[in-house]
Amino acid sequence: MIYFVGAGPGASDLITVRGQRLLECAEIVIYTGSLVNPALLESVREDCEVHNSAFMTLSQVLEVMERGAETGKEIVRLHTGDPCLYGAIREQMDGLDARGLPYEVCPGVSSFCGAAASLKAEYTLPGLTQSVIITRAPGNTDVPRQEALSALASHGASMVLFLSAGLLPQVRDSLLQGAYTEDTPCAIVYKATWEDEIIVRGPLHRLPEMARENGIEKTALIVVGEFLEGGYELSRLYAPDFSTAFRQGTKPPE
């Protein structure tokens, strides 16, 4: 069987229990060398064949998978964070479908969750925003025109930008065309949950400088929005007068 496994955001103990077990059983591992923590590879079997996909093309990845599957090997394709975001797994799954090879996907902790944990932040605050926009600036991969940052910024929702740390002047300018202001709080989270993680906070107008002053050009998330600092309302779920299937609410005292 072939398993696409989310490796988590960085720290090697942030892989899921299922992912760790699959890794320990694997006879072939193909890992995303640019971002997966190499410490995770310490738990593979001694006879495991390990490939770094940073040096491979899609067809080479598929060849390794096909060869392994034909000889009945357990194969793990280890992707950073959760494979469903910017993981290029669809093209691999389509390639496997075309070859009639079965596979499964084991989710992981995405870096946008790792970053929130490091920031001790909640993206969805009542009274402030109930939406998180996950996007990127156009780079090697284009972004559809209707998803332009300036258009997405019109919502003023919490926003997480992947793959954009090298494009911050244009990111800032585009975001300022929407509902964010020069003072909207932002953070750059470099290598969230890794030992050399760096967090820089500041107002949107300083975004490019914040990265430059800290030498950050890649492996970072940009998070933007009032959720980083703004006021909010208490949740209804834990309000004393709110009844749920599990708890009978009481009327608040007059």
By the criterion CB under 6 A, which residues form the site for ligand SAH? Answer: 9-10, 35, 79-82, 85-87, 110-111, 114-115, 162-163, 189, 191-194, 218-221
Query: 250: Cβ–Cβ under 8 A, 6 or more apart, which residues?
Result: 240, 241
Q: How near is the Cβ of 10 to ligand SAH at its closest, in Å? A: 4
With respect to ligand SAH, which residue has the nearer C-beta, 121 or 189? 189
Q: How near is the Cβ of 153 to ligand SAH at its closest, in Å? A: 18
With respect to ligand SAH, which residue has the nearer C-beta, 1 or 198? 198
With respect to ligand SAH, which residue has the nearer C-beta, 46 or 196? 196
How far apart are the C-alpha atoms of 228 and 128, rounded to whole Å?
A: 11
How far apart are the C-alpha atoms of 88 and 123, rounded to whole Å?
A: 25
Q: How near is the Cβ of 171 to ligand SAH at its closest, in Å? A: 12
With respect to ligand SAH, which residue has the nearer C-beta, 143 or 232? 143
Q: How near is the Cβ of 71 to ligand SAH at its closest, in Å? A: 29
How far apart are the C-alpha atoms of 29 and 151, rounded to whole Å?
A: 40
Query: 233: Cβ–Cβ under 8 A, 6 or more apart, which residues?
Result: 125, 126, 127, 128
Question: Which residue's Cβ lies closest to ligand SAH?
Answer: 81
Q: Read off φ and ψ for residue 151, nearest 5 degrees.
A: -75, -45
Confirm if 172 and 147 have CB atoms less than 8 A apart: no
What's the angle, vertex CA 94, arms to CA 93 and CA 97, rounded to 5? 85
With respect to ligand SAH, which residue has the nearer C-beta, 194 or 227? 194
Q: How near is the Cβ of 30 to ligand SAH at its closest, in Å? A: 15
